[in-house]
Amino acid sequence: MAPTLTAEERAAFDKGVAQFNEGYYFECHDTLEDLWAGLRGPSRDFFQGLIQVSVAFYHLTNANTAGAASMLERALKRFESYPDRYFGIDLAAHRAELRGWLEDVRTADAAPPAKPLPVWRFDGG
């Protein structure tokens, strides 16, 4: 069951998504971590997975492919128990996209793969 966020929590979540989509991965991590700290219940791992994705792309954009791979693996593990559609996101597609990034990162030497960075799309969950 997807969580119900208060208006304040939803505003923080939307801010974190906007930060991620604008490439402000460190800031996204901070914003979502503040939200995550107050969450309880089965959705907590989902939000922690989103935080780990933001950290992965922070590492990736700083040419830390080992750190990016580690965070992508951890995020994918967190997302395993959730249905293909969760909290307004096509989680099946997102998992597939992250697996592709993980494969690319594992085969990269030190530079991040040259392809467009992902964008989160939530339909209001």
Any domain includes 90: yes
Amino acid at 120: W
**pLDDT digits 0-9 by tens, 34-67:** 999 999 988 999 999 999 999 999 999 998 999 9
Any domain includes 123: no
Any domain includes 118: no
Any domain includes 119: no
**pLDDT digits 0-9 by tens, 67-86:** 999 999 999 999 999 999 99
Any domain includes 115: no
CATH of the domain at 31: 1.10.3450.10
Any domain includes 116: no
Concatenate the DSSP letters of all residues of the chain into one string: ------HHHHHHHHHHHHHHHTT-HHHHHHHHHHHHHT--STTHHHHHHHHHHHHHHHHHHTT-HHHHHHHHHHHHHHHTTS-SEETTEEHHHHHHHHHHHHHHHHH-SSSPPSSPPP-------
Any domain includes 1: no
Give me the half-sphere count of Cα atoms (radius 13 Å) on the Cβ side of residue 71.
21
Output the pLDDT for position 98. Answer: 96
**pLDDT digits 0-9 by tens, 12-41:** 999 999 999 999 999 999 999 999 999 998
Any domain includes 64: yes
Q: Which residues form the domain of 102?
A: 7-107
pLDDT at 125 over 60: no
